[in-house]
Amino acid sequence: MISLFVMLNQLTPSCCRGAVVKRCFLSFLLSVFVLLAAVPVVAQDSIRDNVPTQTIPDTLLFKIQKAQSVITEIKAANKRGYGVARVRAGLADVKTNIAPVTADINAQNKAIDAKTLSNYSLLLNDALDKLSNWRTTLSKTNNDLQSRLDRVVALSNDSLLTVAGNDTTDRKLYADQLSGLRVQLQEAGTRTSAQLDTVSRLLADVSGTYLNISALQTNINERVQKSNENAFQRESPYIWDAPASLSASSVQDVLTSSYQGQNKILKYFFASSWDNRFLLILLSIGFFVWVFTNFKKANNPALSEKLGELQYENIRPIPIVASLIVLLNLTPLFEPNSPSLYIELTQFLLLVALTVHLWKRFSKEDLRMWLLNVALYVLLVITNTLVGDSLIMRLWLIVLNVGFIYIGVAFFKRLQRRHISDRIIRPVIRLYLVLQLLAIVLNVFGRISLAQTFAITAVVGLVQITGLGVFIEIVLEALDLQIKISTSSAGIFSRVNVEHTRRSFKKGLAFVAVALWLLVFFINLGIADGIFNFIYQILIRPRSFGSISFTLSNLLSFSVIVYLASLLQKNIGLLFGESQLPAANGEIDQVSSVLALIRLVIIVAGVFLAVAASGISIDKLTVVLGALSVGIGLGMQNIVSNFVSGIILVFEKPFRIGDYVELADKKGRIRDIGIRSSKMITSQGSEVIIPNGDLLSNRLVNWTSSDTYLKTEFTLKVSADTDLQAIKEIIRKETSEIDGAIKTMPPDVVVTAIGPDNVELKVVVWISSIYSEASVKSQLLQNLLSDFKEANIKLV
């Protein structure tokens, strides 16, 4: 550039030399600026050419970190496991449990009752649920393993993680690390591939088992449906066409398959219903502790003198057998979905417990028949597992049916059934005989499974009604012991009518006994689920009345809550020392005034809970209350008052139909309780219509209340020198022997006046009914007159 500048200076004239120099100088500066600007570009191009050398370590580190993360994830998953061992063990258990069911279903010439088929269906449904869950889990695990294997393969094939011998980049610095990493990737890939193969095989096995069990379930469903549709159609040859041969091997095979199948059902049932059984056992233990504790209290010298000698036939100081009978009788209530074999086993245990319990109470003839019944019951249970088309087994089943008919006619009519009404016993015995006869007829005409069901249902039903009778006796005696101890120690039962309490408990126990018997009867017939579903559908079916929608279950809940609230507020005072009996010896019970507030809270809470349970909208209830308030304001006070009073009378029950009441100047028996008014029949025979508002607002005397005792009184005058103690003894003796008087409450004899030569006595006698007052007083006075003459006691 300088030489070019010199040449231009020599060739250019002097006049123009300055301008040229100036232009050359500017060109020189421009060239320098261009060269300087080109230097960064060249530097940048040089950097681009050397990219691998500078940036590879950063990318390589990222890849190494990613590969290490995959390896760590695979190791953690392998250490944590994939649940393969658990699923494999569970699958083995499922196959083991299902194998006997499959063998029993596929057994040739064997009739299986509908209840057993239903139990098999429950077992298969549980297995299908497990297999479905395992299949979902294994599918997810399989996908996860495949994803990890793909990532391992992709990292193994990544050239960036490979260092060649002639590599000139910085990757040579990571050669050892990359070499170890590739070994780890190879090991992780091998382990993942092996796990994937294991999971895939297990998934295939689970899926295959699921399909097999689904097919078996379909077979059972078809059998159940066919059994329901053809309940009375022939499933085996008529008895005269039945094959007479019976091989020992076939009997053994059928017995083995039935035992294994029923065994699996029981194991499944025990595992799935342990919580209900635990509550039942706790209840039985509570009964044992209750009776044991009360006997221990009765042995206390302070109470023993008041109680006297305790004589009970059904409970003992250590009530082991009684508690076992309670446990076995309540089992169906806590386990309503139990298999038929479980019911049969519990009834057999109940038979054994009843045998021990009633051993000394049976006569020799009754005991012999009872033991024969136990033996025939065991034979029937075994026979039901073996009966098929064979003529021999079917004839043997008929022999057992005839034996049970003989026992039912000859023995069960003589059973002690003190607390089971004949209205219950007679229908049960008749049903028992009818079912045994039907079992024979159905067996003859080839309907074997239904014959088996009828036979076992009849026997279990009659055994259970016997056990329930003993159960009621046991509970009533335990309650009687509690009442005696509580009365002697001024407990809660000293404040209530004991006879009324016993009657109420007896009615409640009888209701429970009937419900339990029906439950077991329906379970053994195999129709319990159908009946429960039918009732359930009736209760939950939506119904409408105008714009109001409701269900029968809502109405039932409403009624139950209102009844319980009414019962609770009526008897809550017993917990605070309030007594339903008249005060003895003039004592006055002091009850806290907070009791009225508690009763009010119970009533209000019960009403709100009942309304909430009924499903009625609060808005609609508000409209009804608003309309009611308007009606009251328009002059319906009396009608509404009587209407509300009628509702209160229904729930509070100050008297019942048939009670003898006194209102103002009227006395009579209540004939009817209506919504607006009630009807009373006087002793003269006239009918009096009384508004319900008057019954609540006026003072009313109920002479026949079932919760209190009544008393009648009369006056005697004797000479002043008469032995008053002898008079008291005579009066107490005659009162204890007369019908209609309360034996547990001795009469009171008090001196009311003293004259110059006479003493006036007032005699108060407690009676059970107002209707017997005249007869009791008349009979007592006649007896006293005769006794006074014999004792030379003169009346003034």
H or E segment and range at residue 678? strand 677-682
Residues 755 and 656 in one domain: no
Provide the percentage of residues in the chain whose pLDDT is more than 70: 71
pLDDT (mean) for 165-192: 71
Does residue 632 sit within a domain?
yes
Give the count of beta carbons closer than 10 Å to the beta carbon of residue 608.
Answer: 13
7 vs 663, residue with greater confidence: 663
Residues 529 and 603 in one domain: no
pLDDT (mean) for 220-231: 67
Q: pLDDT band at 22, cuts 50/70/90?
A: very low
What is the pLDDT at residue 259?
A: 64
**pTM of the model as a whole:** 0.61
Of 229, 259, 285, at which residue does a domain stop? 229
Does residue 45 sit within a domain?
yes
Of 334-338, 630-634, 764-768, 791-795, the range with the lowest mean pLDDT is 630-634
pLDDT (mean) for 394-421: 74
CA distance 62 to 65: 5
What is the pLDDT at residue 246?
A: 60
Q: pLDDT band at 637, cuts 50/70/90?
A: low
Radius of gyration of the chain (CA): 47
354 contacts: CB under 8 Å, gap ≥ 6: 325, 466, 467, 470
Residues 658 and 751 in one domain: no
What is the pLDDT at residue 418?
A: 47
CA distance 396 to 406: 15
pLDDT (mean) for 107-132: 73
pLDDT (mean) for 584-590: 44
- Tens digit of each residue's pLDDT (9 = 90 or more) over 564-580: 888 887 777 666 665 55
Does residue 555 sit within a domain?
no
- Tens digit of each residue's pLDDT (9 = 90 or more) over 647-670: 677 666 677 777 778 777 777 888
How many folded domains does the chain comprise? 5
What SS3 state is found at 710? strand
Of 46-50, 387-391, 660-664, 768-772, the range with the lowest mean pLDDT is 46-50
Is residue 169 scored above 70 in pLDDT?
Answer: no
Of 240-249, 286-295, 601-610, the range with the lowest mean pLDDT is 240-249
Is residue 706 scored above 60 in pLDDT?
Answer: no
What is the pLDDT at residue 267?
A: 73
Is residue 384 scored above 70 in pLDDT?
Answer: yes
Does residue 543 sit within a domain?
no
Q: pLDDT band at 588, cuts 50/70/90?
A: very low
Residues 93 and 195 in one domain: yes
373 vs 492, residue with greater confidence: 373
Of 30-34, 275-279, 360-364, 387-391, the range with the lowest mean pLDDT is 30-34
Of 674, 702, 730, at which residue does a domain stop? 702
CA distance 239 to 442: 10
Residues 602 and 689 in one domain: yes
What is the pLDDT at residue 680?
A: 81
Q: pLDDT band at 324, cuts 50/70/90?
A: very high
248 vs 711, residue with greater confidence: 711
232 vs 279, residue with greater confidence: 279
What is the pLDDT at residue 26?
A: 39
CA distance 480 to 594: 32
Residues 401 and 516 in one domain: yes
Residues 292 and 405 in one domain: yes
Residues 462 and 608 in one domain: no
CA distance 329 to 513: 9
- Tens digit of each residue's pLDDT (9 = 90 or more) over 56-75: 556 777 777 777 787 787 77
Does residue 544 sit within a domain?
no
Residues 163 and 219 in one domain: yes
pLDDT (mean) for 756-770: 79
CA distance 747 to 753: 19
Does residue 749 sit within a domain?
yes
Residues 225 and 256 in one domain: no
What CATH number does residue 772 fall under?
3.30.70.100
Domain residues for the domain of 377 are: 241-538
CA distance 658 to 681: 10
CA distance 739 to 748: 18
Residues 512 and 455 in one domain: yes
Of 643, 667, 702, at which residue does a domain stop? 702
Q: Residue ranges of the alpha helices (H) in 157-174?
A: none
What is the pLDDT at residue 62?
A: 76
Report the mean per-residue pLDDT for the chain: 75
Does residue 394 sit within a domain?
yes
CB 377 within 8 A of CB 344: no
Is residue 133 scored above 80 in pLDDT?
Answer: yes
pLDDT (mean) for 481-486: 84
Q: Is 664 left (phi over 0), alpha (psi -120 to 50) or beta?
A: left
Does residue 127 sit within a domain?
yes
Q: pLDDT band at 292, cuts 50/70/90?
A: very high
CB 708 within 8 A of CB 497: yes
Residues 596 and 634 in one domain: yes
Of 19-33, 76-90, 388-402, 433-447, the range with the lowest mean pLDDT is 19-33
What is the pLDDT at residue 180?
A: 74
Of 108-122, 438-452, 765-779, the range with the lowest mean pLDDT is 108-122
Is residue 149 scored above 90 in pLDDT?
Answer: no
248 vs 735, residue with greater confidence: 735
Instruction: Specify the residue for token string 């009996």.
Output: 581
Is residue 526 scored above 60 in pLDDT?
Answer: yes
